[in-house]
Amino acid sequence: MLIDALGKINNMRLAKSNALLPIFEAVINSLQSIEELVDNSDSYIKVIIKRDMTQQVLDTISNNRDGSLYPIKDVIIEDNGIGFNDENFKSFQTSDTTYKKSKGGKGVGRFLWLKAFDKVYIESYYLDGEHYKNRTFSFLPTVDPVCDIVNEERGNKRQTRITLSDYLSPYKESCPKKLETIALKIVEHSISYFILKTCPKITIEDDFDTICLNEIFSNKLRVHTDDCRFIVKNKEFFIRHVKLFMREEKKNRIHLCANNREVTRKDLSKSISNLVGRIKEKNQNGDEFIYSAYITGSVLDNNVNLERTGFNALEEEQDVLDSFITIRDIEYKAINQVKAYLADYIEPIKKEKIEKITRYINSISPQYKAILKYKKEKLDDISPKINEHNLEIELFKLSQELNYELKKEGQEILSKNNYDIKNLDKYKEKYAKYVEKENDVGKSSLAQYIIHRRVILELLENGLGVRNDSKYELEEYVHNLIFPMKTVSDQIDYEKHNMWIIDEKLAYHYYLASDIKLKKMETLNVESDDRPDILVMNKPLVLVNQDSKPYNSIVIIEFKRPMRNDYNEESNNPINQVFKYVKKIRQGKEIDRNGRQIAIGQNAPFYLYIIADLTSKMVEDAELANLTRTPDNMGFFGYNTVKDINAYVEIISYDKLVEDAKKRNRILFDKLFTPKVDNIE
C-alpha cells in the first residue's frame, strides 16, 4: 500500500467532539465482519479500555471508584468475525475502497484511527478453507502505512484484535472517561443493530468493571420498533422513536442515519422549544427519559460523506440534497413527526409554560398584555426553562415586533384612497380591528410608564436606607433619580426625568436646570456661581403669542443628604440657601432664548422645596424660620414675606416624599398590578 497516510490523515476532518468516532468505526467493522459469517450464533465483540494508571490522580473510593479519573491510553476491539482474510486484507490495503459500499462503508474509516491514535496494531485469526491462518501487521501514519506484515498458518479459532494505541490530544481529553458513558455512546451509534436484534453480544471492560451493551439496550432504552414513514418531495424516509432512560443524557435529539448508522445529531430543543431536558413518563413510577429520533432513507444513504460526519451535497452555498431535497426539508418533516408522537408529553409542558408567562405578565410586566392577545402563538418559541431576566428580553422583542406590524398595518389602511376601497364592509371590519389593536398597544405603553414609576419609587426608598458601610447615600443619589445632574430640560425627554415624585405639576415646565450655575443658565443673566440643585421656570398660563411675558412662577429644589444633621448658618443651612437664590434671581437681568431681556414679575411667586430628613438640626432651623409643621408631622411649610424674597417654602422629609408619591400613584398601581386573570386557554 503506497499512499501518504499522514497527508491523507491531515486532510481529514475530525472534531474533538467526535473523539469516539474512531472507536465507533472499529466496532462497526467488527459488526460487519460478523455479518459475513454463515453462522454467527456464538459471535461476540469485546471493547477493552486500557487506562494510563501511571497518572497521579486523587484515587479515593468516593471520587474514583470506577477509575474514570485515569485517562484512556489504548482501546482494543476484539471480535470473532470473518477476520482479515485475503479479500478483506486486500480491501484494507486499498485506499478509498468500495468493497463495503453496500453496507455504507467508504473505505476511509480506518484512517480515522490514525487521526486520534498514534499507531494501530492488528492481529487476526481467520478460516481459510479448512485451515486457520494468522495475519498480523501494523498500521502507521507513514508513506507505506501497512507494515510489519506476518502471515502464518496457525490457530484454532476465529479472533481479530485491533489495538488503537496511544490516544492523541485533543481527542484523549475530549473523550468520555466513564465506562458506562462510552458504552451508551456505542449503543446509540449502532442502535439499529440492537433494534433489529441481529446484534452479537458486545461487552466493554477496563480494570474496574465490565458492562454488557446488550443489557444496557434492554434495560435502559425503551424502543418502539415500528417505524413511521414520511415523504419528502416524493422520497421515502423512516423515523424510529427511542426513549432513553440514562442519567447522563440531558438533551433530546434528532439523528440522521446512513446505512443503519448515525451520521449527525441535533438538539431538538432548538426546533421544539417545549422539548427541554428530561421528559416524565406517564406511568405510576414517573420515570424520566430522553427522546431520540432516528431518521433513515435511501437519500441519506446515497449522500453520506467519506468521513461519515455529514452529507456530501449539504453545502451552505448549494443547500441541495438529492433531487433538490435539503437537510432542512428532511428535518422539518421529521420534526413534525416528533411533535405528533410526543404530543401527549409536550402539551402539558406548553400549557404550564403559558400559565407561567401569563402570571409574569399580569403581576410583573403588564405592559406586555397585548402579546397575550395578538402574539400568543409566538410564546410557543420560548423555552419553558427560561428565567425571568431572559423572559423579559423575549417579551420585549415580541412587543417590538407587534409595534412594527401595527405601524405597517396602520400605514397600509390609512394610505388607501376612497376609490381604492372595493368592499366598504371589509374595509370597516379591518379598520375596526386595527383601532382595537392600536388601543391595546397604547394601553401597554401606559402600563410600561406606570411600571417605571413603581420601580423609581422602589429605588428611591431603597436608597434612603443605611448602606453596607453604615453610611447614607449622598444627596446626589436622590437628585439624579429625580432629574439628572448637570443637565437642562432641553437635553432630557419627558420620560427620562421623575419630577412627578415631588409634584405632578413639575413634570411640565418651560425651562429646568439641574445643578447648573446661575450664570450658566440660558434664561437668566445672573452673575453668580451659586448652583441650585434644581431650578424650574414656568411661562404664563395665559395663551398669548408673546415670549417676552414674565414667568408666572419659578421653582427651586434643594436636596440634602439623608439623615444629615450638621447644618450651620454660614454655609449650608438649606433654608438660607434657597432664600439667597431667590434674591439673586429677582435682582438679576434675564434674557430669553433669543437674547431679548425679559423680566420676572414682582408678583411672580417662587416655590422653594427643601428635600431633607427632619433631623434635630433641621427641625430647629425650620422653627427659627417660623415655618409651620405639616398636619402629618413629616414636613414644614410657610411663606416668607421679606422684600426680594416673597416665596413659599416647604421642607419635605424623605419619608413624606416617598409616602405622598405612593399615595398619588396607588390607584394606578392597584389597577395595573391586581388585574383580572385572563383566560389562557
Report the CATH number that the domain containing residue 61 is assigned in CATH. 3.30.565.10
In a domain, 44, yes or no: yes
Percentage of residues of the chain with pLDDT beyond 90: 24
pLDDT tens, residue by residue, 307-353:
677 887 654 445 555 557 888 889 999 999 999 998 888 888 888 88
User: Do 585 and 489 fall within a single domain?
Assistant: yes
For residue 449, what pLDDT band results from cuts at 50, 70 and 90? Answer: low
Measure the CA–CA gap between 185 and 261, rounded to whole angstroms: 12
- Number of compact structural domains in the chain: 4
User: Do 552 and 638 fall within a single domain?
Assistant: yes
User: Do 156 and 254 fall within a single domain?
Assistant: no
Does residue 230 carry a pLDDT above 60?
yes
User: Do 191 and 323 fall within a single domain?
Assistant: no
Q: Which residues fall within 8 angstroms of residue 97, CB to CB, at 6 or more apart?
A: 91, 105, 107
User: Do 67 and 159 fall within a single domain?
Assistant: yes
For residue 5, what pLDDT band results from cuts at 50, 70 and 90? Answer: low
In a domain, 464, yes or no: no
Containing structural domain, residue 182: 1-210
User: Do 280 and 383 fall within a single domain?
Assistant: no
Instruction: State the average pLDDT over residues 136-150.
Output: 91
Q: List C-alpha distances in Å: 446 to 203, 482, 669, 677.
A: 67, 20, 12, 19
Whole-number mean pLDDT of the chain? 79
User: Do 443 and 494 fall within a single domain?
Assistant: no
Does residue 593 carry a pLDDT above 60?
no
Q: Strands 159-167, 72-79: parallel, antiparallel or unpaired by DSSP?
A: antiparallel
Instruction: State the average pLDDT over residues 525-554.
Output: 59
Confidence at residue 317, expressed as pLDDT on a 0 to 100 scale:
45
Confidence at residue 30, expressed as pLDDT on a 0 to 100 scale:
94
Residue after which a domain boundary falls, among 341, 364, 387: 341
Closest CA to 198 of 36, 381, 355, 8: 36
Q: Which of the residue ranges 241-255, 378-392, 435-449, 489-503 would you say has the lowest mean pLDDT?
A: 435-449
Cis? peptide before 170, omega within 30° of 0: yes
For residue 554, what pLDDT band results from cuts at 50, 70 and 90? Answer: confident
User: Do 510 and 553 fall within a single domain?
Assistant: yes
Confidence at residue 157, expressed as pLDDT on a 0 to 100 scale:
92
**Following DSSP, what letter does each residue of 128-196 receive, concatenated?**
ETTEEEEEEEEE-SSSS-EEEEEEE---SS-EEEEEEEEEPTTHHHHS---HHHHHHHHHHHTHHHHHT
Q: List C-alpha distances in Å: 338 to 188, 268, 269, 282, 293.
A: 18, 9, 12, 17, 7
pTM: 0.48
b (16+ CB within 10 A) / e for 613-629:
bbbeebbebbeebebeb
Alpha helices by DSSP H, 279-387? 298-303, 327-341, 343-363, 369-374
Structure-model confidence comparison of residues 552 and 617, the more confident one = 617
Category of 536 on φ-ψ map: left (φ > 0), alpha (ψ -120 to 50) or beta: beta
Burial class (CB in 10 A: 0-12, 13-18, 19+), 12: middle
Evaluate the CA torsion angle 313, 315, 317, 320 in order and state its sign: positive
In a domain, 666, yes or no: no
pLDDT tens, residue by residue, 352-403:
889 999 888 877 777 787 788 778 888 888 888 888 888 989 888 888 888 7
Confidence at residue 179, expressed as pLDDT on a 0 to 100 scale:
94
For residue 46, what pLDDT band results from cuts at 50, 70 and 90? Answer: very high
pLDDT tens, residue by residue, 174-195:
999 999 999 988 988 887 788 7
In a domain, 622, yes or no: yes
Half-sphere CA count of 547, side-chain side, radius 13 A: 11
Confidence at residue 316, expressed as pLDDT on a 0 to 100 scale:
47
In a domain, 670, yes or no: no
| Helix, strand, coil percentages, rounded to 5, for the chain | 40, 20, 40
Q: Which of the residue ranges 28-42, 227-241, 395-409, 602-616 would you say has the lowest mean pLDDT?
A: 395-409
Measure the CA–CA gap between 516 and 213, rounded to whole angstroms: 78
In a domain, 664, yes or no: no
For residue 62, what pLDDT band results from cuts at 50, 70 and 90? Answer: low
Closest CA to 264 of 300, 226, 318: 300
Check if the beta carbon of residue 570 is closer than 8 Å to that of residue 518: no
**Reduced 3-state DSSP string for 326-350:** CHHHHHHHHHHHHHHHCHHHHHHHH
Instruction: State the average pLDDT over residues 144-168.
Output: 93
Structure-model confidence comparison of residues 178 and 67, the more confident one = 178
Residue after which a domain boundary falls, among 433, 450, 467: 450
Residue after which a domain boundary falls, among 341, 360, 381: 341
User: Do 252 and 365 fall within a single domain?
Assistant: no
DSSP state of 283: S
Does residue 115 carry a pLDDT above 80?
yes
Tell me the range of 16-20, 450-454, 672-676 where mean pLDDT is highest.
16-20
User: Do 259 and 306 fall within a single domain?
Assistant: yes
The separation between the first and the last C-alpha atoms of the chain, rounded to the nearest angstrom, is 69
In a domain, 469, yes or no: no
Category of 155 on φ-ψ map: left (φ > 0), alpha (ψ -120 to 50) or beta: left
User: Do 27 and 78 fall within a single domain?
Assistant: yes
Check if the beta carbon of residue 299 is closer than 8 Å to that of residue 237: yes
User: Do 118 and 240 fall within a single domain?
Assistant: no
In a domain, 468, yes or no: no
